[in-house]
C-alpha cells in the first residue's frame, strides 16, 4: 500500500514539474524583451541625467540645481535585441546631454560598420552581407546600410587620387583593362592602370582612371597627372606597355627619355594573327627560348635566334615576320635591365594578374550600376591589392616582381 502511494506521489510530482516547466517556457517566450529593455534604458538615462546635470530630485527647488528639464526627444538605437525605436531621451534646457549608453552602442556600431566594410572589401556581396553580419553579431543590416557606408569611400578615393607621389619608381607598367558596367548596357568600362616598382623592390598600383578609350589624349592626361603629383620619372629605367598606339604616343610625349618596352605576350598574339592555326604552335616554338625559366639572358643570342626564325618563316608568313620586325628594338629593351628582372619585364601581364582578383570580386556584384559604384569598387579593391603587394618580400626577383 505504501509503495502505491509513493508511485502516485511521484506521478503527481512529475505532472506538476512538467506543468510548471511548460508555463515557464510559455511565459519566457511571451515576454517582450525589447519593450523591457527599452524601459531599462530609459530609466538608466533618466537617472544619469538627474545625477549629472540636475543633482536634485525632480520638482525640488534648490540652489544646487545646475540645469532644468526640457522634456524629451526620441531617437532609435541599434542594440543586441535589434532596433529600438522611439526611445525617450531627456533633454536639458541648457547645453546638451549624451547618455553613456549611446557611447557604448556607438562604439559597438562602429565595430559593426568596420566589419561590414572589411567584408565588402574581401569580396562578400551586398546580398550576402546581411546574413554574414547577423551570424557574427546578431544585428540585422539592410543592404541600404552597406551602400551608405561604402559611399563614404568617395572622399577617401578622391584624396587617394590626389595624394603626393614619390619619384622612386624604376619600372612602370601601363595597361588598360575592362570591367562590366550596367549603366552602359552590355558594354564595359575601361580602366587605365599604372603599376610601379621602386628600387627597394616595393610595388603597388600607383593609380587608375576610368576612361572611355585608350586614346593618346586620355593616356596623356592620366600620365601628366602622375607627373603633377610628383612622379617625374627621373629614375625610370623602363616603361612596359602592350603596344597600344595611343599609349605609345602618350609615353613619347610625357616620358621622352625613358626606354619603352613592348609586351611580348601581346606581340605574339599579333604575330599569330597572320599564321594559319595548324602552324601556330610551330611558329611560337621557334621563339620559345626567349621565354620561360631558362630563357636567353643576352641580347646578342636573342638577336641570333630571331634572325634564324625570320629566315625560316619569311617565305611562308611574310606579314608575321614584318609584324615582329616593326617593333623589334622595343621588344628587346628589357635586356638592359638585370637578368633576374627579365622575366617580369617582358610583358605587362602583371597588371592582368592584379585584375584577376578584381574580376572575381566584381562577379559577385554582377555588374556595377554606375560610374560612382565602379569608382568605389575599384578604390576598395586597389587598397586590398596594394596591401597584399606591400606584404611581399622586398627583393626584386623574377618570382616576386608581380
Summarised one tens digit per residue, pLDDT across range 167-214 is 999 999 999 888 765 554 556 778 899 999 998 888 899 999 988 889
Mean pLDDT in residue range 262-272: 93
For residue 57, is pLDDT > 60?
Answer: no
State how far the Cα of 246 lies from the Cα of 289, in Å rounded to an integer.
31
State how far the Cα of 173 lies from the Cα of 347, in Å rounded to an integer.
9
Maximum C-alpha span of the chain: 118
Please answer whether residues 368 and 316 qualify as being in contact, where contact means their C-beta atoms are separated by less than 8 angstroms: no
Three-class SS of residue 371?
helix
State how far the Cα of 30 lies from the Cα of 151, in Å rounded to an integer.
41
**Angular region, 215: left φ>0, alpha ψ -120 to 50, beta rest:** beta
Q: Which residue has the higher pLDDT, 265 or 6?
A: 265
Rounded to 5 degrees, what are φ and ψ at 38? Answer: -60, -45
Please answer whether residues 165 and 226 qualify as being in contact, where contact means their C-beta atoms are separated by less than 8 angstroms: yes
Q: Which tens digit of pLDDT belongs to each residue from 322-339?
A: 999 999 999 999 999 998
State how far the Cα of 332 lies from the Cα of 245, in Å rounded to an integer.
18
Q: pLDDT value at position 326?
A: 92
Measure the CA dihedral 115/117/121/122, to 10°: 20
pLDDT band at 157 (very low <50, low <70, confident <90, very high): confident
Residue where the block lists cell 593618346? 216
Q: What percent of the chain has pLDDT over 70?
A: 71
Q: Which residues contact 205 (CB under 8 A, 6 or more apart)?
A: 193, 194, 195, 354, 382, 385, 386, 389
Which pTM was predicted? 0.68
Three-class SS of residue 150?
helix
Lowest mean pLDDT: which of 74-88, 219-233, 254-268, 272-286?
74-88
Mean pLDDT in residue range 355-359: 73
Q: pLDDT value at position 173?
A: 93
146 burial (CB, 10 Å; 0-12 / 13-18 / 19+) is buried
Three-class SS of residue 351?
helix
Amino acid at each position: 500500500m505504501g509503495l502505491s502511494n509513493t508511485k502516485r506521489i511521484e506521478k503527481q510530482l512529475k505532472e506538476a514539474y512538467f506543468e510548471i516547466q511548460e508555463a515557464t517556457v510559455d511565459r519566457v517566450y511571451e515576454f517582450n524583451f525589447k519593450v523591457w529593455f527599452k524601459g531599462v534604458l530609459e530609466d538608466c538615462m533618466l537617472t544619469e541625467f538627474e545625477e549629472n546635470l540636475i543633482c536634485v530630485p525632480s520638482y525640488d527647488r534648490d540652489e544646487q540645481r545646475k540645469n532644468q528639464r526640457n522634456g524629451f526627444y526620441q531617437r532609435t538605437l541599434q542594440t543586441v535585441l535589434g532596433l529600438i525605436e522611439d526611445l525617450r531621451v531627456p533633454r536639458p534646457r541648457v547645453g546638451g546631454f549624451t547618455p553613456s549608453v549611446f557611447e557604448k552602442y556607438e562604439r559597438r556600431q562602429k565595430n559593426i560598420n568596420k566589419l561590414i566594410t572589411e567584408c565588402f572589401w574581401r569580396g562578400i556581396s551586398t546580398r550576402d552581407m546581411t546574413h554574414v553580419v547577423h551570424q557574427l553579431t546578431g544585428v540585422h543590416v539592410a543592404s541600404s546600410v552597406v551602400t551608405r557606408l561604402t559611399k563614404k569611400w568617395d572622399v577617401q578615393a578622391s584624396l587617394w587620387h590626389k595624394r603626393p607621389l614619390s619619384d622612386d619608381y624604376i619600372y612602370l607598367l601601363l595597361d588598360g583593362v575592362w570591367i562590366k558596367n550596367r549603366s552602359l548596357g552590355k558594354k564595359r568600362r575601361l580602366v587605365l592602370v599604372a603599376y610601379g616598382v621602386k628600387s627597394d623592390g616595393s610595388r603597388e598600383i600607383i593609380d587608375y582612371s576610368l576612361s572611355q578609350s585608350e586614346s593618346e589624349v586620355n593616356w596623356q592626361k592620366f600620365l601628366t597627372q602622375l607627373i603633377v603629383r610628383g612622379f617625374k620619372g627621373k629614375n625610370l629605367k623602363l616603361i612596359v606597355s602592350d603596344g597600344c598606339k595611343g599609349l605609345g604616343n602618350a609615353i613619347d610625349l610625357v616620358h621622352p627619355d625613358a626606354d619603352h618596352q613592348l609586351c611580348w605576350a601581346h606581340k605574339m598574339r599579333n604575330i599569330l594573327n597572320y599564321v594559319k592555326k595548324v602552324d601556330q604552335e610551330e611558329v611560337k616554338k621557334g621563339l620559345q627560348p626567349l621565354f620561360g625559366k631558362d630563357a636567353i639572358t643576352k641580347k646578342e643570342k636573342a638577336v641570333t635566334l630571331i634572325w634564324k626564325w625570320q629566315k625560316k618563316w619569311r617565305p611562308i608568313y611574310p606579314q608575321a615576320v614584318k609584324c615582329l620586325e616593326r617593333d623589334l628594338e622595343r621588344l628587346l629593351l628589357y635586356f638592359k635591365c638585370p637578368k633576374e628582372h627579365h622575366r617580369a619585364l617582358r610583358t605587362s601581364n602583371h597588371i592582368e594578374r592584379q585584375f584577376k582578383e578584381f574580376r572575381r570580386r566584381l562577379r559577385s556584384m554582377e555588374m556595377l550600376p554606375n560610374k560612382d559604384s565602379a569608382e568605389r569598387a575599384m578604390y576598395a579593391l586597389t587598397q586590398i591589392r596594394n596591401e597584399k603587394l606591400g606584404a611581399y618580400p622586398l627583393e626584386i626577383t623574377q618570382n616576386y616582381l608581380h
